Amino acid sequence: MAVLLLGTLDTKGAEYALVRDLITRAGQDVVLMDTGVMGSSALAADVPAEAVARAAGTDLDRLRSAGDRGAALAAMAAGATALAKDLHARGGLSGVLALGGSGGSSIAAAVMRALPVGLPKLLVSTMVSGDVSAYVGESDVTLMYSVVDVAGVNSVSRRILSNAAAAISAMAASYDARAEPAGEDKPLVAATMFGVTTPAVDAARARLESLGYEVLVFHATGSGGRAMEALAAGGHFAGVLDLTTTELADELVGGVLSAGPDRLTAAGNAGIPQVVSLGAVDMVNFGPMETVPERFRSRRLLVHNPTVTLMRTTPAENAEIGRAVGERLARASGPVTLFVPRGGVSAVDVEGGPFHDPEADAACFDAVLASVAGSHVEVVESDQDINDTTFAVAAADRLHRLIQKGA
């Protein structure tokens, strides 16, 4: 297996020569792939730019003559992705390293996002000191800020690039040596958790693990929900325990932790057994108090910590959230059970808690129940709150039965 060095060698040849030599010196084989379009490089690539363009269904001369940089970047990203996925499928990759500015980083990040979770991926870029969501997506890309521009080797960049070479070499060596114990694979179950639903998920996870499952817990912070949806769409899970659907509140009301409009759809589309609840739909998330939009300043707000401010959802908002949950579940092609915790949907929504609001909760419950009425969705109602151990274990047991029924 080898480390894939992926980049625009027409502008970054010296930098790639340095990291190639360092990685080789560390004992790793290297495959050098050129995604440059506009010029040539004295550094010979194992996979030249012409081959990358061909893999995208075009040719390098056509991309150059068109003079459309955006289209050329998209084509090279598509070609490099196809070639990298083929290398990985043939067992040829132990890691990926790329260096770049905005254009090279966009190509490299697209390739890395398409490769499986667990394969080491390191991007050294001028672009990763701000909002990096466009580069990372739902993948496990490791980012290193280049500090100076990736434009020649100097006393600063040499140190950064040397660290990057050492990092990917060590990760690749670990990846090469890693071996999954034969015969110990367990069915995977996804679970969603927030701080205010942690007791529920901890209890449910313990129960599922005792039943022989491996439980992957996703923090419902937007990116966590998107990651779970992507893995569910890829068929990785035997079942989904979606106790914490709070990201829909942020999507519908305007908080900062939305997972997008497709949240709570992938498992249903794939026919994966689901047990779903309404964890933390009593809240919408914002950053520090001063970042809460002016239109919400008069609402019931709770400082969760210095960087997170929670806003209590209203009865009208909860009704909209309930309808959204119910409509998605009713469309699911696989078995679904909805667990309704009438005692409270979060740790702060219980009696005496700062977000306790029976009217708002009832609006959510009524709406979700109306939306699934007459559908195949099974409903379990409880007077307990979501973090009650009995409620959580019952949800885990129900998911186990749904999975076993379809086995």
Look up residue 151 and give its DSSP letter: S
Handedness of CA 205, 206, 207, 208 (dihedral sign): positive
Nearest Cα to Cα of residue 74 among 63, 61, 87: 63
By CB atoms closer than 10 A (0-12, 13-18, 19+), residue 383 is exposed
Q: Rounded to whole angstroms, how far apart are CA atoms 190 and 227?
A: 10
Question: What is the radius of gyration, based on Cα positions, of the chain?
Answer: 24
Residues ≥6 apart with Cβ < 8 Å to 280: 194, 196, 197, 220, 244, 245, 246, 249, 345, 346
Contact at 8 Å (CB) between 376 and 331? Answer: no
Quick one: pLDDT at residue 151? Answer: 80
Q: Rounded to whole angstroms, how far apart are CA atoms 9 and 41?
A: 6
For 399, the 3-state DSSP assignment is helix
DSSP 301-345: EEEEETTEEEEEPPHHHHHHHHHHHHHHHHT-SS-EEEEEETT-S
Handedness of CA 278, 260, 265, 185 (dihedral sign): negative
Handedness of CA 321, 322, 327, 330 (dihedral sign): positive
Q: Rounded to whole angstroms, how far apart are CA atoms 56 and 198?
A: 45
Q: Rounded to whole angstroms, how far apart are CA atoms 119 and 94?
A: 7
Residues of the chain predicted below pLDDT 50:
182-183
Quick one: pLDDT at residue 392? Answer: 98
Q: Rounded to whole angstroms, how far apart are CA atoms 185 and 175?
A: 18
Quick one: pLDDT at residue 150? Answer: 85
Chain centroid to Cα 287, Å, comes to 20
Quick one: pLDDT at residue 181? Answer: 53
Task: Rounding to the nearest 10 degrees, give the CA dihedral for residues 35, 40, 43, 48.
Answer: 40
Contact at 8 Å (CB) between 241 and 396? Answer: yes
Q: Rounded to whole angstroms, how far apart are CA atoms 245 and 172?
A: 36
Handedness of CA 278, 345, 138, 256 (dihedral sign): positive
Quick one: pLDDT at residue 138? Answer: 78
Q: Rounded to whole angstroms, how far apart are CA atoms 122 and 140?
A: 9
Task: Identify the H or E element spanning 240.
Answer: strand 239-242
Structural domains of the chain, with CATH: 2-177 (3.40.50.12020), 188-406 (3.40.50.12030)
Helix then strand then coil, in percent of the chain rounded to 5, is 45, 20, 35
Nearest Cα to Cα of residue 42 among 17, 7, 77: 17
Quick one: pLDDT at residue 136? Answer: 86
Residues ≥6 apart with Cβ < 8 Å to 361: 282, 318, 342, 344, 345, 349
- Across 79-180, where does the E strand assignment appear? 93-100, 121-125, 142-145
Task: Please count the other Cβ atoms lying within 10 Å of the Cβ belonging to residue 116.
Answer: 13
Quick one: pLDDT at residue 4? Answer: 97
Task: Please count the other Cβ atoms lying within 10 Å of the Cβ belonging to residue 154.
Answer: 11
For 147, the 3-state DSSP assignment is coil
Task: Identify the H or E element spanning 275.
Answer: strand 274-276
